Each structure stands twice: as structure tokens, then as C-alpha cells.
């Protein structure tokens, strides 16, 4: 129990427990959500909006601490300040030289960026917070427009619903605790950027064009993009590497399977792969395998089994009794072993919703994450679909092949990157 003389604290949720132990200078476990507005950001109003948003999300006023057996979050009086963007994207938040909150709010021209450590929340939870922040900012920035009536906030769950640990709520002891390790998958090679730098390539396209391409092939947008990603990776592989399967990890929002309004982590991951050494090349056979894999895995029963296996490790008495320094070593080794079976990841955040009265004031939303390997995130808003790639490599070849394939399908793509042309050397 919390001591009256100590600040309030809470344990990390199941998904969050691995992140403090496995973070590094190449993979800070920080991800970023971006909202680009139609007009330049006014820092003072953004600070006022942040103060308002934190009243609805007090869990963000937390720092991470080390206990005897687990990391935990403790309420902190540290001030939350917006700042101009100067650091590299997804720069380390924890551990840092000095204790800090587990998020930061940045601004650059028309962009508002929220960076969050994964121990605090997942993509859905962070998006709720960013939307609340943008909502409060637009109310202040366009006070005259909204003086008559305030639009309904985009996320209005009760405080106790936001702070629920849904892993604990839905956990059932599984009959089979451990799953078999996947065989080694193809791993990207190439010259890496200096430590703590992240190469970002962002592609914006009309949502209706992307959806039309998916519907023509009887697939969802996530299935199509996953298949195109697999093919793009294969196109850049060396011949001697093509005996290994290409595997993309897909984070799955468990709120779609279990009722939850939690603003904490509540997700699981499925692996979707294709062995080009055994199957036919080309988008159609790859897409067929991706669809089969999605249909087999994306059921409440299968996602429940996956969640229960992960939570069973946390409930294991021997593991619970292991001191934290040794847990760090065990979790890091387990994470590296699991990572051998994954080539890249693709996260579809889905549709971002804001009040209709505010939609015309916003250009688009986007997201990406720090990574030891190439990762992609996608979301849609206001008729635009944005796919953002982030990775530690100088080469953008896989990403460019990905977008080239979309253009060949008839999708108009606008690309932006954070690196100068001379840094984009092939691997």
C-alpha cells in the first residue's frame, strides 16, 4: 500500500514491464504522434492547453522508479513544459541524466508533437492524450470561433476508466503457458546512423485511393499495406538471404476485442510472415497469405490466449521473486531472442477522430516510433492516409520501394523526410 508520507504510485501494466529493461540508445522505447495544423503553433497557448489536458490525464505526471522486483510509476510534481523541437526524433526519455516525466510536447512551425515512453501508454492511449491537447489548444487559439458552444471532447472516459490496468482485468490463467519460438527471420543490414538518430520517411496519400486499392483485392487497408511492405523488403534482399522468411510484427489494439477505455497499455502483437523461398513471388500470393494469417489470429479467442500467455509470465512466482537487476538481464535476453524472429513492424493506428468543427483547422496526423530495426506506423484523418517509416539506417531503399509500389497501383503519394539527400546512401 502507498505510505501517507510518500507520493502515490502504481505498478506498470503487463505490456509496459519489458520496456525499461530493453531500452537502449538505438531503441529508446519512445514513440511520437504528430498533428500538423493549418497555421503556425503559438507556444504560450500550447502550454496553457497542456496544463488543461493534464487535468484530464493526471497519470502523465509520473516518473519511473526502480523497486526491488519491478519498475513502478510515481506521481511527480515536476513541471510539464512545451519546448521547441531541437532534439532528434524519439530521443531518450528514460533513463536520462536527470529524472523526468515520461513524455514531452514539442512544436515546430505548424506541428505539435507528443513523444511518450512506451512504459506509460500505448499508441491508442497516447493518441487520446494528443487529441485532448490539440482540442484544448484549438479552443484557446480560436476562442472567438468557439465562444458560443464548445465541441464535445474527442475522448471523454471517466478518470477511473482511463487508469484501469485492463491486462489484470481480463487475465485468465492459461492452460498452456509458453508458445514456441519462431525460426530466425531476415534482418535488415546496412550502415547505421550515429547513435540516437532516427531516419524518418513520411508518405501522405488520399485515403479513398488507398481504400479503393484494398477493396479491389478483397482486403483491408492494413492487410494490403502489410503485404506491400513484405514485398518491398523482399525486393531489397540479397540472393543468399532469401532463404529466410520475412516477418512483420503487427501490434493489435486489444480494446477492439475486450471492452476497455484504458489510457494505459493494452495491446498484443501478432507476427505475419511470408517465405519467398517456398512461395510464389508477387503481391497477390503474399496478400493471400497475409489475409489468411489475419483471419486466423484476429479473433477474441486467439488474442485472449496471447494476452494470457504474456500475463502468465508476470504471475509466475519464480520470476516475481527474481531481483530487478537480474530481471533486467533476463528480459533483455528474452527480448533479443524474440527479435530474431521478426524483420520489421507495421502498426495501423486507424482513424483519428476530432470534433467536426475542428477538422478544417487540422492538416493531418502522423505517428512513428524509435526502433532498432525498420518500423512503420499508419493512421488516417480528414481524407488523408499517412504511413511513416522510422529506422536506424541511412538507406531508405525499402521504404522507397514500398511507396513506389503504391504509386504503381494508382495512389498519389507525397514524401517528406528528416534527412538531407546526401545521407541517403544505399546499404
Over the stretch 104-155, which tens digit does the pLDDT of each residue have? 999 999 999 999 999 999 999 999 999 999 999 999 999 988 866 667 777 7
The pLDDT of 206-230, averaged and rounded, is 97
The reported pLDDT for the residue numbered 368 is: 93
Q: How far is 418 from 34, CA to CA, in rounded Å?
A: 14
Distances (CA, A) of 269 to 251, 302, 382: 4, 11, 28
Exposed / middle / buried, residue 79 (Cβ in 10 Å: 0-12, 13-18, 19+): exposed
Structure confidence at residue 179 (pLDDT): 61
Q: Determine the Cα–Cα distance for residues 34 and 85; give it in Å rounded to an integer.
A: 12
pLDDT at 207 over 50: yes
8-state DSSP, 292: H
Q: What confidence tens digit (pLDDT) does each residue in 305-358 have?
A: 888 887 877 777 777 788 999 988 988 898 888 899 999 999 999 999 999 999
The grid coordinates listed for 177 are: 503457458
Measured at the alpha carbon of residue 284, what is the angle toward residues 388 and 386, in degrees to the nearest 5? 15
Checking if the pLDDT of 160 tops 90, the result is no
The model's pLDDT over 230-278, given as tens digits with 9 standing for 90+, comes to: 999 999 998 888 899 999 999 999 999 999 999 999 999 999 999 998 8
Quickly state the pLDDT bin for 290 (edges 50, 70, 90): very high
Which residues touch 201 (CB under 8 Å, ≥6 apart)? 388, 389, 390, 396, 399, 400, 415, 416, 417
Residue 108's pLDDT is: 96
Helix (H, G, I), strand (E, B) or coil at 351: strand
* Grid cell digits, residue 203: 508518405
> Which positions ≥6 away from 193 have C-beta within 8 Å?
199, 392, 393, 394, 423
pLDDT of 426:
37
Tell me the DSSP string of 120-178: T--HHHHHHHHHHHHHHHHHHHTTTTTSS-PPPPS----HHHHT--HHHHH----SS--
The pLDDT, as a whole number, for residue 427 is: 35
**Which range, of 65-79, 304-318, 367-381, 385-399, averages the lowest pLDDT?**
304-318
355-381 pLDDT, tens digit each: 999 999 999 999 999 878 899 999 999
d(CA 361, CA 43): 17
**pLDDT of 280 higher than 90:** no
Which residues are within 8 A (CB) of 154 and not within 5 positions of it... i.e. 6 or more apart? 128, 131, 132, 135, 353, 354, 355
pLDDT at 154: 78
Q: Cell for 6?
A: 510518500
pLDDT given at position 3: 45
Cα distance between residue 411 and residue 99, in whole Å: 45
CB 232 within 8 A of CB 402: yes
Query: Is residue 424 pLDDT above 70, yes or no?
Result: no
pLDDT value at position 423?
Answer: 46
Higher pLDDT, 319 or 426: 319
Place of cell 517509416: 389
The whole-chain average pLDDT of the chain stands at: 89
DSSP 202: E
pLDDT tens digits, one per residue of 5-46? 567 888 899 888 889 988 877 788 999 999 999 999 999 999
- Contact between 217 and 287 under an 8 Å Cβ cutoff? The reply is yes
Provide CB contacts within 8 A for 358, sequence distance 6+: 134, 135, 138, 151
Written as one string, the DSSP assignment of 376-425 is EEEEEETTEEEEEEEESBS--HHHHHHHHHHHHTT---EEEESS-GGG--
Residue 50's pLDDT is 98
User: How many beta carbons lie within 10 A of that of residue 148, not counting itself?
Assistant: 6
Cα→Cα distances 336→138, 181, 247, 330, 341, Å: 43, 12, 15, 10, 9
Instruction: Report d(CA 273, CA 257) in Å as an integer.
Output: 23
Instruction: Flag whether pLDDT at 4 surpasses 80.
Output: no
- 235, 241 in Cβ contact below 8 A? no
Residue with cell 513492424: 345
- The three cell numbers of residue 1 are 500500500
Q: Is 226 a residue whose pLDDT tops 70?
A: yes
pLDDT at 420: 58
Which residue is listed with cell 510518500? 6
Amino acid at each position: 500500500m502507498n505510505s501517507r508520507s510518500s507520493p502515490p504510485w502504481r505498478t506498470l501494466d503487463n505490456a509496459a514491464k519489458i520496456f525499461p529493461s530493453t531500452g537502449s540508445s538505438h531503441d529508446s522505447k519512445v514513440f511520437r504522434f504528430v498533428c500538423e495544423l493549418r497555421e503556425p503553433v503559438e507556444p504560450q497557448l500550447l502550454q496553457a492547453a497542456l496544463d488543461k489536458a493534464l487535468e484530464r490525464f493526471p497519470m502523465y505526471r509520473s516518473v519511473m522508479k526502480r523497486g526491488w522486483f519491478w519498475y513502478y510509476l510515481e506521481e511527480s510534481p515536476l513541471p510539464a513544459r512545451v519546448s521547441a523541437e531541437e532534439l532528434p526524433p524519439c530521443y531518450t526519455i528514460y533513463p536520462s541524466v536527470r529524472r523526468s516525466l515520461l513524455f514531452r510536447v514539442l512544436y515546430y512551425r505548424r506541428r505539435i508533437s507528443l513523444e511518450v515512453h512506451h512504459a506509460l501508454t500505448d499508441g491508442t492511449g497516447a493518441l487520446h492524450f494528443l487529441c485532448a491537447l490539440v482540442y484544448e489548444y484549438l479552443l484557446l487559439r480560436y476562442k472567438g470561433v468557439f465562444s458560443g458552444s464548445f465541441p464535445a471532447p474527442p475522448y471523454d472516459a471517466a478518470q477511473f476508466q482511463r487508469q484501469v490496468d485492463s491486462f489484470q482485468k481480463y487475465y485468465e490463467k492459461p492452460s498452456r503457458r509458453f508458445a514456441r519460438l519462431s525460426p530466425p527471420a531476415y534482418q535488415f543490414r546496412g550502415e547505421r546512423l550515429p547513435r540516437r538518430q532516427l531516419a524518418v520517411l513520411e508518405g501522405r496519400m488520399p485515403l479513398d485511393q488507398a481504400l479503393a486499392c484494398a477493396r479491389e483485392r478483397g482486403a483491408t487497408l492494413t492487410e494490403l499495406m502489410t503485404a506491400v511492405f513484405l514485398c518491398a523488403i523482399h525486393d531489397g534482399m540479397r540472393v543468399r538471404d532469401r532463404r529466410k522468411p520475412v516477418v512483420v510484427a503487427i501490434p493489435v489494439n486489444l480494446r477492439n476485442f475486450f471492452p476497455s477505455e484504458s489510457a494505459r497499455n493494452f495491446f498484443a502483437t501478432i507476427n505475419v510472415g511470408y517465405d519467398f523461398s517456398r512461395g510464389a513471388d508477387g503481391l497477390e500470393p503474399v496478400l493471400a497469405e497475409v489475409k489468411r494469417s489475419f483471419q486466423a489470429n484476429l479473433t477474441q479467442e486467439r488474442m485472449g490466449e496471447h494476452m494470457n500467455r504474456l500475463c502468465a509470465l508476470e504471475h509466475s512466482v519464480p520470476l516475481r521473486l527474481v531481483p530487478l537487476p537480474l530481471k533486467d538481464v533476463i528480459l533483455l535476453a528474452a527480448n533479443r531472442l524474440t527479435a530474431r524472429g521478426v524483420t520489421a513492424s507495421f502498426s495501423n493506428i486507424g482513424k483519428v477522430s476530432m470534433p467536426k468543427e475542428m477538422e478544417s483547422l487540422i492538416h493531418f496526423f502522423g505517428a512513428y516510433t524509435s526502433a532498432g530495426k525498420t518500423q512503420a506506423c499508419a493512421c488516417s484523418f480528414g481524407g488523408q492516409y499517412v504511413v511513416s517509416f522510422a529506422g536506424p539506417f541511412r538507406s531508405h531503399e525499402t521504404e522507397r520501394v514500398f511507396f513506389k509500389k503504391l504509386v504503381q497501383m494508382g495512389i498519389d503519394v507525397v514524401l517528406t523526410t528528416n534527412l538531407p539527400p546526401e545521407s541517403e546512401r544505399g546499404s
